[in-house]
Amino acid sequence: MRTLILGGDGFCGWPTALHLSAHGHDVTIVDSLVRRRIDDELGVQSLTPIRPLSERLLAWREATEREIDFVQCDLARDYDRLVELLAEKNPETIVHFAEQRSAPYSMKSPRHKRYTVDNNANVTHNLLAAMVQVGSQAQLVHLGSMGVYGYETVPLDLPEGYLTVTYPDNDGRPQTREILYPTQPGSVYHLTKSMDQLMFQYYAHNDGIRITDLHQGIVWGTQTDETDRDVRLINRFDYDGDYGTVLNRFLVEAAIGYPLTVHGSGRQTRAFINIRDTVRCIRMAAESGDEVSGRPRVMNQMTETHRVIDLAHLVANTIGAEVNMVPNPRQEAEENRLSVRNDRLLNLGLEPTLLATGLMRESAEIAHEYVGRVDTNRIPCVSYWNRQRETAAEGA
């Protein structure tokens, strides 16, 4: 299968590129490398020493004799290059990871809000318009987020994309219709993911573009079977207040003896998935095709839900750490219930890697190994969702 991986130098994209290559896909990575420049902007580096992409690709060739091609392109700005690329490579699958993915980063300042919208909306729309322009028959597999739904407690298991609603027509007769499950974005980043959904709905309906939108939970873990093969293939591991996702941040904090930073009450429930399952799910999505029904296939890509405070205690008990409650920089419910349907990926053969399997120790060992690279000044989240909170926290 000829496969393009947009954003293939990132945390999810790199291990996915290797996993698909290992399973026989002919992979081309397309990336602007902007994520590495954001590391420089924030003055923080991945906990793990990630190598330049050229060195990563050489290491993969030496380990497997398989080639992965790389094209550097800013997909939000260089539309003509994107069109050329689609025409030249004629991919059967396009996996789209190429977005600014941090909610705190998207809330840092008006510039960061505008960058996140410009970048994410333009990459998605450029891609859809280019696919129509060249008559691409590829299946587009996009990484969306469970976070688009917000975290209100709702009295149902979150369905996979669609909700059947019943409403009275003008004569009072009940009508039913299926709609996209309503989004309730909690940050500008999540707002862009909500916008993506509408673009997918439009292009699937209007142009018959085949789309699978994977609503992913928070990813934890670092390594996969493929990134483990050579130290030059190591995956990135973000622990800072902007890009460090909650469990990975806790693991680094525990490794350096820094009290675990639990935002607010810690009673927020979130959905999680291990990086090993991320790459398998994407392969299942790519290889299973979609329903070709004029509407996107949506699958919830998560395996378990946990309250943040329970995760903190799990890390504290397994690895040893103090738990510290800090003011919540986000504007979100202090407590919510969350239950999610993930039947589609389970039916495709997903065997969840759960926290209870002990894989958390693997990430903790990595955190210990690279502990000297941690900059503790970068751990607190310094992006606030609104100024009043920022002022309150500064005064605290």
- Please say which residue, 36 or 389, places its beta carbon nearer to ligand NAD: 36
Residue 213 contacts ligand NAD per CB under 6 A: no
Query: Rounded to the nearest whole angstrom, what is the least distance from the CB of residue 175 to ligand NAD in the complex?
Result: 34
Contact with ligand NAD (CB under 6 A) among 20, 22, 34, 204 = 34
- Look up residue 17 and give its amino acid: A
Select from 91-99, 107-115, 366-374, 381-389 the region that touches ligand NAD (CB under 6 A): 91-99
Binding mask 92-131 for ligand NAD (x = CB under 6 A): -----xxx-x-----------------x---x--------
State both tokens at 282.
């994407």
CA distance 260 to 250: 6
Query: Rounded to the nearest whole angstrom, what is the least distance from the CB of residue 284 to ligand NAD in the complex?
Result: 16
Give the sign of the dihedral formed by CA 195, CA 3, CA 7, CA 72: negative
Q: Give me the half-sphere count of Cα atoms (radius 13 Å) on the Cβ side of residue 239.
A: 35
Query: Rounded to the nearest whole angstrom, what is the least distance from the CB of residue 117 to ligand NAD in the complex?
Result: 12
CA distance 292 to 270: 31
Query: Rounded to the nearest whole angstrom, what is the least distance from the CB of residue 34 to ligand NAD in the complex?
Result: 4
**Segment 337-396, which members bind ligand NAD (CB under 6 A)?**
none
Nearest to ligand NAD by Cβ — which residue?
A: 10
Select from 11-19, 180-188, 329-337, 361-369 the region that touches ligand NAD (CB under 6 A): 11-19
Binding mask 240-269 for ligand NAD (x = CB under 6 A): -----x------------------------
Residue 75 contacts ligand NAD per CB under 6 A: yes
State both tokens at 23.
């399973």
Query: Rounded to the nearest whole angstrom, what is the least distance from the CB of residue 41 to ligand NAD in the complex?
Result: 12
Query: Rounded to the nearest whole angstrom, what is the least distance from the CB of residue 86 to ligand NAD in the complex?
Result: 14
**How many residues form the binding site for ligand NAD (CB under 6 A)?**
26
Query: Rounded to the nearest whole angstrom, what is the least distance from the CB of residue 245 to ligand NAD in the complex?
Result: 5
Residue with tokens 């998935």: 273
Q: Are 71 and 30 in contact (CB under 8 A)?
A: yes
Q: Are 158 and 182 in contact (CB under 8 A)?
A: no
Contact with ligand NAD (CB under 6 A) among 19, 25, 35, 112 = 35
Binding site for ligand NAD (CB under 6 A): 7, 9-13, 31-35, 74-76, 97-99, 101, 119, 123, 143, 145, 216, 218-219, 245
